Amino acid sequence: MATPIDLHEVAIRELETRSRYPWRIKACASTACQSAGAGPAYSAMEREISNSGQTQTVQLVPTGCMGLCSRGPLVRVLERGGDETMYQHVDAEIGSDIVKSHTGQRIPIQSNVLDHHGPFFAEQRRVVLANAGIIDPDRLESAVAHGAYLALEKAITTMTPDQVVEEVRASGLRGRGGAGYPTGTKWSLLAGAAGDQKYVIANGDEGDPGAYMDRTVMEDDPHRVIEGLAIAAYATGANRGYIYVRAEYPKAVERLDRAIRSARRNRLLGRRILETDFTFEIEVRIGAGAFVCGEETALMASIEGKRGMPKLRPPYPTERGLFGNPSMINNVETLANIPAIIDRGSEWFRSIGTEGSPGTKVFALAGKLENTGLIEVPMGISLRTIIDDMGGGVPSGGAFKAAQTGGPSGGCIPEQFLDTPVDYASLSELGSIMGSGGLIVMDDTVSMPEVARFFMEFCMDESCGKCVPCRAGTVQIHGLLDKICTGRGTAGDLALLEELCVVVRETSLCGLGQSAPNPVVSTLHYFRPEYEELLVDREAVDA
Amino acid sequence: MSERLRLATVWLGGCSGCHMSFLDMDEFLFDLADRADLVYSPIMDVKEFPEGVDLTLVEGAVANRDNLELARDLRAKSARVVSFGDCAVSGNVTAMRNPLGDPLAILERVYVDAVDRDGGIPDVAPIVPGLLAQVLPLHNVIDVDVYLPGCPPPADRIRSAVTALLEGALPRDRGEDIRFG
Amino acid sequence: MRERRKTIEFVVDDTEVDAYEGESVLQAARRHGFTIPALCYVEGLSVWGACRLCVVELAEQHQLRPACAVTVEEDMEVITDSEAIRRHRRTVLELLFAEGNHVCAVCVSNGACELQDAAVAVGMDHVRFDYQAPVRTIDASHPKYVSDPNRCILCTRCVRVCDEIEGAHVWDIAGRGRGARLVAEMGKPWGEAMSCTWCGKCVATCPTGALFYQGRAVGEMRHEPDMVARLVAARRDHQWIAPGAHDE
Question: What does the pLDDT look like over A330-388, one tens digit per residue?
Answer: 999 999 999 999 999 999 999 999 999 999 999 999 999 999 999 999 999 999 999 99
Shortest Cα distance, chain C CAs vs residue B99, angstroms: 5
Residues of chain C with a CB closer than 8 angstroms to some CB in chain B? 97, 101, 103-107, 110-111, 113, 116, 119-120, 123-128, 130-131, 133-136, 219
Whether B77 is in a domain gets the answer yes
Contact C129 A479 (CB under 8 A): yes
Name the residue of chain B whose CA is nearest to A543's CA.
B132
**H helices, E strands: number in chain C:** 6, 9
Res A2: pLDDT: 67
Find chain A residues with C-beta within 8 A of B95's C-beta.
none
Shortest Cα distance, chain B CAs vs residue C168, angstroms: 33
The structural domains of chain C, with segments of one domain joined by +, span 7-81, 108-115+134-236
| Mutation for B interface: C86, C124, C131, most B CBs within 10 A | C131
Contact B176 C120 (CB under 8 A): yes
Q: Partners for A (CB, 8 Å, 3+ pairs)?
A: B, C
Name the residue of chain A whose CA is nearest to B130's CA.
A543
Q: Which CATH architecture has domain C108-115+134-236?
A: 2-Layer Sandwich (3.30)
pLDDT band at C1 (very low <50, low <70, confident <90, very high): very low
Of B93, B95, B178, the CB nearest to C120: B178
Residues of chain A with a CB closer than 8 angstroms to some CB in chain C? 290, 292, 307, 312, 460-469, 471-476, 479, 496, 499-500, 503, 506-509
Interface check C100 vs A, CB under 8 A:
no
Of C105, C124, C126, the CB nearest to B83: C126
Residue A396, strand partner residues: none
Shortest Cα distance, chain B CAs vs residue C158, angstroms: 24
Contact B92 C101 (CB under 8 A): no
Whether B150 is in a domain gets the answer yes
Shortest Cα distance, chain C CAs vs residue B86, angstroms: 8
Q: Nearest to residue A501, comparing CAs of A518, A488, A479? A: A518
Shortest Cα distance, chain A CAs vs residue B65, angstroms: 9
Q: Which CATH architecture has domain C7-81?
A: Roll (3.10)
Contact A469 C129 (CB under 8 A): no
Please write the tens of the pLDDT for every residue from A479-494: 999 999 999 999 999 9
For residue C127, give every residue at least 6 positions away whose Cβ sits within 8 Å of its Cβ, in sequence order, or none: B90, B137, C94, C97, C98
Instruction: Read off the amino acid at residue A182.
Output: P
Size of interface A-C (CB pairs under 8 A): 89
| Mutation for B interface: A483, A538, A541, A542, most B CBs within 10 A | A538
Domains located in chain A, CATH noted:
18-122 (3.40.30.10), 147-350 (3.40.50.11540), 360-443 (3.10.20.600), 448-532 (1.20.1440.230)
Find chain B residues with C-beta within 8 A of A539's C-beta.
72
Interface check B144 vs A, CB under 8 A:
no
Whether B36 is in a domain gets the answer yes
For residue A315, give every residue at least 6 positions away whose Cβ sits within 8 Å of its Cβ, in sequence order, or none: none
Find chain C residues with C-beta within 8 A of B137's C-beta.
126-127, 131
Whether B119 is in a domain gets the answer no
Q: For chain B, give the mean pLDDT.
A: 93
Contact C125 B175 (CB under 8 A): no
Interface check C54 vs A, CB under 8 A:
no
Pairwise CA distance, residues C173 & C50, whole Å:
13
Instruction: Read off the amino acid at residue C49.
Output: G
Res C5: pLDDT: 78
Contact A543 B72 (CB under 8 A): no
The percentage of chain B sitting over the pLDDT mark of 90, rounded to a whole number, equals: 82
Please give the DSSP secondary-structure letter assigned to residue B109: I
Of A460, A461, A467, the CB nearest to C52: A467
Pairwise CA distance, residues A39 & A95, whole Å:
11
Pairwise CA distance, residues C189 & C193, whole Å:
7
Pairwise CA distance, residues A374 & A439, whole Å:
10
Q: Report how many domains make up chain B.
A: 1
Q: Nearest to residue A514, comparing CAs of A295, A288, A290? A: A295
Interface check A538 vs B, CB under 8 A:
yes
What average pLDDT does this structure show over C78-100? 95
Q: Which residues of chain A have pLDDT under 50?
A: none
- A405 close to A361: Cβ distance less than 8 angstroms: no
Find chain A residues with C-beta within 8 A of C130's C-beta.
476, 479
Triad C203, C205, C209: Cα angle to 5°: 60
Q: Is the pLDDT of residue C2 over 70?
A: no
Whether B89 is in a domain gets the answer yes
Whether B109 is in a domain gets the answer no
Name the residue of chain C whose CA is nearest to A513's CA.
C177
Name the residue of chain A whose CA is nearest to B136's CA.
A543
Shortest Cα distance, chain C CAs vs residue B63, angstroms: 14
Res C246: pLDDT: 60
| Mutation for B interface: A488, A493, A496, A539, most B CBs within 10 A | A539
Contact C55 A307 (CB under 8 A): no
Element (H, E) at A481: helix A468-485
What separation in angstroms does the CA of A336 have from each of A123, A147, A229, B100?
Answer: 20, 13, 8, 53
Shortest Cα distance, chain C CAs vs residue B81, angstroms: 14
Whether B126 is in a domain gets the answer no
Res C44: pLDDT: 96
For residue B78, give every residue at least 6 positions away whose Cβ sits within 8 Å of its Cβ, in sequence order, or none: B8, B53, B54, B55, B56
Pairwise CA distance, residues C99 & B107, whole Å:
25
What average pLDDT does this structure show over C87-116? 97
Res A519: pLDDT: 95
Pairwise CA distance, residues A469 & C176, whole Å:
14
Whether B103 is in a domain gets the answer no
Residue C77, strand partner residues: C11
Of C103, C126, C134, the CB nearest to B93: C103
Res B1: pLDDT: 46
Count how many residues are written for chain A: 543
Interface check B81 vs C, CB under 8 A:
no
Buried b (16+ CB within 10 A) or exposed e, A466-502: bbbbbbbbbbbbbbbbbbbbeebbbeebbebbbebbe
Contact A543 B136 (CB under 8 A): yes
| Mutation for B interface: C96, C104, C136, most B CBs within 10 A | C104
Please write the tens of the pLDDT for every residue from B102-113: 999 999 999 998
Instruction: Read off the amino acid at residue A421.
Output: P
Q: What is the number of alpha carbons within 13 Å of residue B126 lying toward its C-beta?
A: 2
Pairwise CA distance, residues C10 & C8, whole Å:
7
Phi, psi of A449, deg, nearest 5:
-60, -35
Res A539: pLDDT: 85
Residue A307, number of CB atoms within 10 A of its CB? 17
Res C244: pLDDT: 66
Res A82: pLDDT: 80
Size of interface A-B (CB pairs under 8 A): 11
Find chain B residues with C-beta within 8 A of A538's C-beta.
141-142
pTM over 0.80: yes
Interface check B62 vs A, CB under 8 A:
yes
Of A538, A539, A543, the CB nearest to B62: A543
What is the span of the domain harbouring residue B66?
5-97+131-177
Pick the residue with more confidence: B172 or A389? A389
Contact A543 B133 (CB under 8 A): yes
User: In chain B, which among 1-60 make CB contacts under 8 A with chain A?
Assistant: none
What ipTM did this prediction achieve? Answer: 0.95
User: In chain C, which among 144-203 make CB contacts under 8 A with chain A?
Assistant: 153-154, 172-173, 175-180
